Amino acid sequence: MMAGAERTRTRTRAEEALARNFAALASDDAVHEMRSQAFDAFMEKGLPHRRVEDWKYTDLRALMSDAPPPASPASPQAAEEALARADVFAGIDRARIVFVNGQFLPALSDLKGLEEDVEFASFGRFLAGGGALLVATDQADEAEAPVLALNGAFVTDGAVLRIREGAKLARPLEIVTVYAGAEPGLQTLRHQVSVGDGAEAVILQSYVGPDDVAYHTNAVTDVRIGKGAKVKWVKAQEEGNKAVHLGLDLPRVDADAVFDPFLFAAGSAVARAEIRLIFDGEGASAGIRGATIARGRQHLDTTLIVDHAVPECTSQEFFKAAIDDEAKGVFQGRINVWRDAQKTEGKMMSQALLLSESAEFDNKPELEIFADDVVCGHGATCGQIDEEMLFFMRSRGVPMEEAERLLVHAFLAEAIEEIADEDVIEALEARTRRWLSLASEVR
């Protein structure tokens, strides 16, 4: 190679497919120039790999063998049948905004009872009008965040929600993402949610799809929590067993607000749930929690970055994982406390149970502290089921498989019960019990 010549990076099969899929998009799209900028930013570095520190444990260049084209719209019958699978929150009286194959379906959605408190528009409407909302956020740069860059290149729709100041939603609001069909496809969504000052809301998100279909989901959620607002946000990821799920949440929390997100991950072949949270006002708090359950050869990654940029804010991160068979779990958590963020409290704990000799869990907790009046700490554990507890239960006549299920359920329930909403707790614990039963059947 000649001195000074640039080394040409070899594209992977998935990157080549992404390039073909992008080239096939209509050039007269109202936001084509913005899409091109986003895709160029992605292609400059390509899919992240293990030499990229933030993706050290989730090498997408190796894990993504291909990239399907944008999904075709589902027929009304196929959409209804697929929606029936989105039942994780079925026992809860809630409003719903439904997206199937990346498209908003008003006929399947229901905002009854929330009309006075919630303004909703389809993100697709803004795209058609020139993409006024399709802008890069200051929490993530498209050149550094591949999920955001690909989202900007391929986004088709999403929810633009405004919850008015002082509103107290009468029932939870669920944003449903469903894949329908037997052919692989890509669904790409951008949600923008603004919660007004002093408002209170429970927002649910669910992601579901069929098994044995190699579809992909890319979802970016931009959240603004107003002063003194209180928001519980619960996400349930139950994609199909061959799916790839890439999610990026970008919340900003204003003064005296309380934001409590929970991530429940049980589906997909490869998934990464990433949260980058910034405190914008003093006295705010965030309780970021989650539960991951994986088996087979699943690869499930949870990555968190919390920026304490102002004084007197509190963050608590508490995550549990149960990993079986040859599955792999990842937890990366970083708390940044900047120079002006005095009186910060930041705590992080990740705990994992390995249920087989081949299971793997990678823990990477980090603290970066530039202030001197703070209370911060982190911890991480990884191990097997407590043999003493197992012996105790066996000695009282509980069969081995049942004893193991009860102990794993109790382990995960410790995180789930932090949600402090009985209906949501029961929904997720029911999902956990189902997963444990299916795991036992496989064994």
Q: How far apart are CA 64 and CA 74, in angstroms?
A: 25
Q: How far apart are CA 156 and CA 33, in angstroms?
A: 15
Amino acid in position 186: L
Q: What is the pLDDT of residue 3?
A: 42
Q: How far apart are CA 292 and CA 264, in angstroms?
A: 6
Share of the chain above pLDDT 90, in %: 83
Confidence of residue 11 (pLDDT cuts 50, 70, 90): very high
Cβ contact 382:354 at 8 Å:
yes
Domain segments of the chain as ranges: 13-281
Q: What is the pLDDT of residue 134?
A: 52
Asked whether residue 213 carries a pLDDT value surpassing 90, the answer given is yes
Q: Kindly give, in sequence order, each residue whose CB lies less than 8 Å from that of residue 438, ignoring residues fewer than 6 positions away.
A: none
Amino acid in position 292: T
Cβ contact 315:288 at 8 Å:
yes
H helices, E strands: number in the chain: 9, 19
Q: Kindly give, in sequence order, each residue whose CB lies less than 8 Å from that of residue 9, ignoring residues fewer than 6 positions away.
A: 46
Residue 219 pairs in a beta bridge with 189, 247
Q: What is the pLDDT of residue 139?
A: 64
In this structure, what token pair is assigned to residue 28? 């007269």
Q: What is the pLDDT of residue 230?
A: 98
Q: What is the pTM of this model?
A: 0.94
Helix (H) or strand (E) holding 400: helix 400-416
Confidence of residue 2 (pLDDT cuts 50, 70, 90): very low
Q: What is the pLDDT of residue 1?
A: 40
Q: How far apart are CA 160 and CA 158, in angstroms?
A: 7
Q: How far apart are CA 43 and CA 134, in angstroms?
A: 19
Asked whether residue 300 carries a pLDDT value surpassing 90, the answer given is yes
Task: Identify the CA nearest to 95 among candidates 192, 161, 6, 27.
Answer: 161
Cβ contact 63:270 at 8 Å:
yes
Q: What is the DSSP letter of 23?
A: H
* Averaged pLDDT for residues 4-18: 78
* Averaged pLDDT for residues 282-311: 97
Q: What is the pLDDT of residue 4?
A: 42
Confidence of residue 8 (pLDDT cuts 50, 70, 90): low
Asked whether residue 343 carries a pLDDT value surpassing 70, the answer given is yes
Neighbour-count burial of 107, counting CB atoms closer than 10 A to its CB (0-12 exposed, 13-18 middle, 19+ buried): exposed
Buried b (16+ CB within 10 A) or exposed e, 330-347: bbbbbbbbeeebebbbbe
